[in-house]
A and B are shown apart, each in its own frame.
Chain A
Amino acid sequence: MNAVSLTTENLGDVMPSSEAAKAAATQPQPANDVVMAELEKAAPPKAKVYRRERLNAVLQWAVPPLLGIALFVGLWALVSQASPQLPGPAKTWASAVQLFSDPFYNNGPNDQGIGWNILYSLKRVAIGFGMAAAIGIPLGFMIGRFSFLSRMTAPVISLLRPVSPLAWLPIGLLVFKEAQPAAIWVIFISSIWPMILNTAAGVARIPQDYLNVAKVLNLSEWKVFTKILFPAVLPHVITGIRLSIGIAWLVIVAAEMLTGGVGLGFWVWDEWNNLNVEHIIIAIFVVGIVGLLLEQGLVMLAKRFSYE
């Protein structure tokens, strides 16, 4: 028993603790058996045992996700066998290698490399989301701070928030008379709500203790904002940003499909018209991976600013 508990501690040293716990929880048996067997033999040199445990830990960490991906690809291959129009993993991979070998070519507005498409979509998201943040976060602060403003805006926000993002597109086209700003408008209007609501909730939920400190010290409004309000609300703001980026990235493909130009959404629609299904599948993966990276980046940012 002693040996077992010792090894789990060592696992914790090698990996972030939550990962270790997960790994230990999912597959505790084989690892312990291996280690027990290892210990029953004449004890090998310490460094060697350590390396072996490290390897074990890495395997335990890597095996479940790899297994999941393998299952997914296998299932895909099976489905593509049954339905000949759907390209299988191998065919898609070959097409992807070819596509990514020259990501930044430019043969006129309707035929550009995948890299350009990704960058154009990211640019639209950045502009629309940036404007939403520039307006939504300060607005959220004010709504959280002044209950009058909160009650004033509540009905409008609750009415507009559940509206499907694409319902805003015709309004954008009408007002801006152009596709490009209309797409950005859709990103803006659909990603602003989580930032307003999360920031406001964060401000409203600042512990009374912190505000009492501000009162007792008699801090100036500026100090209260920079030293208490802002740091206390920052984690909530980042949560809002995370949700907003997720929505923005979700919406961009649909918005671009309708507005055209250069961008992932338009590219998907174009390849559908060309009946190039491999490229559509590649687009799905690209959208997924970029979304994952955005999310992970913001999770890291949130960790940096969480103070608990």
Chain B
Amino acid sequence: MEKYVQIDKVQMVFDTKQGPFVALRDIDLAIRQGEFVSLIGHSGCGKSTLLNLVAGLNEPTAGAMLCAGREIAGPGPDRAVVFQNHSLLPWLTCFENVHLAVERVFGQSEGKASLKKRVQETLALVGLSHAEHKYPHEISGGMKQRVGIARALSMQPNVLLMDEPFGALDALTRAHLQDELMRIAQETQSTVIMVTHDVDEAVLLSDRIVMLTNGPAATVGEILPVTLERPRDRLALANDPEYHRLRGAVLEFLYHRQMRPAA
């Protein structure tokens, strides 16, 4: 297996007022190019911490991390992040929000017209061509998150990192965006690491589900391969026994073996 993202013996310790807090320990994970991997676990288990490590927003206290053959040292546009609360800049239009990213990555090598075309193509990819001149407060939560995804995709990152991207959306919008994300990931052949706490979301979207044990000192408990055929259809899967077996396996891990001590 070709290892595109490699995480070796990674440990993360935070210094707190009560002394050192071990958030993650002995994390080993290798991700192929084009693979869609979900990180799932109870809240507080360090899923987002692990994602931030890959993003380079935090540095691990021990261990090594590689992305596309290069060591991860600090954040960079080759690892684009879709934040949970979209994090669009409210004083820029949708177009300008995406343009900021495009300009950063391709501004040196390409002309203005080409940058503009990139922005418009990415907005079209997430179905928002009609809203390019709207400001974030003028569009719905689902549309904002689409712009966030467009901003990340527009950089043509090696890895797309998503931190509970649909957590703040209502169920119908979430389902719709999950379908969109599946289509986009397939079209663009993106490598995706997604943090989620939604079991159905994880099974529907992932090639592999990485289940983390409870924190503190969380680590990889089990990795579940999802072999459902693509393209996947949520309605057909509702009656698919394999889907239910996988769903059951994740639930079993989360609620039986990693029962929250006091939730």
Q: Which residue numbers of A lie inside 8 Å of B, CB to CB?
A: 209-210, 212-213, 215-219, 223, 227-228, 231-232, 307-308
Contact = CB atoms under 8 A, between A and B. Distances in A.
Given A215-B75, A216-B80, A308-B137, A210 B87 contact: yes
Q: Which of A213, A216, A218 has the most CB of B within 10 A?
A: A216
Contacts of B137: 307-308
Contact of A308 (B76, B87, B90): B90
B77 interface: yes
Given A218-B104, A307-B135, A213 B77 contact: no
A216 B89 contact: no
B203 interface: no
A216 B92 contact: no
Contacts of B89: 210, 213, 227-228, 231
Contacts of A210: 87, 89
Given A212-B87, A308-B137, A217 B104 contact: yes
Given A215-B57, A216-B55, A217-B104, A209 B91 contact: no
B83 interface: yes
B92 A213 contact: no
Interface string B70-85: 0000011101110101
Interface string B88-120: 011110000000110010000000000000000
8 contacts: A212-B57, A212-B87, A213-B89, A217-B100, A228-B89, A232-B91, A307-B90, A308-B90
Contacts of A212: 57, 81, 83, 87
B101 to A, nearest CB: 6
A52 B204 CA distance: 59
Contacts, number: 48
B76 A218 contact: yes
A209 B101 CA distance: 15
Contacts of B100: 217, 219, 223, 227
A194 to B, nearest CB: 23
Contacts of A228: 89
Contacts of B101: 217
Interface in B211-263: none
A232 B55 CA distance: 24
A308 B136 CA distance: 9
Given A212-B83, A217-B104, A308-B90, 5 more contacts: A216-B75, A216-B76, A216-B77, A216-B81, A218-B76
A209 B85 contact: yes
A227 B85 CA distance: 19
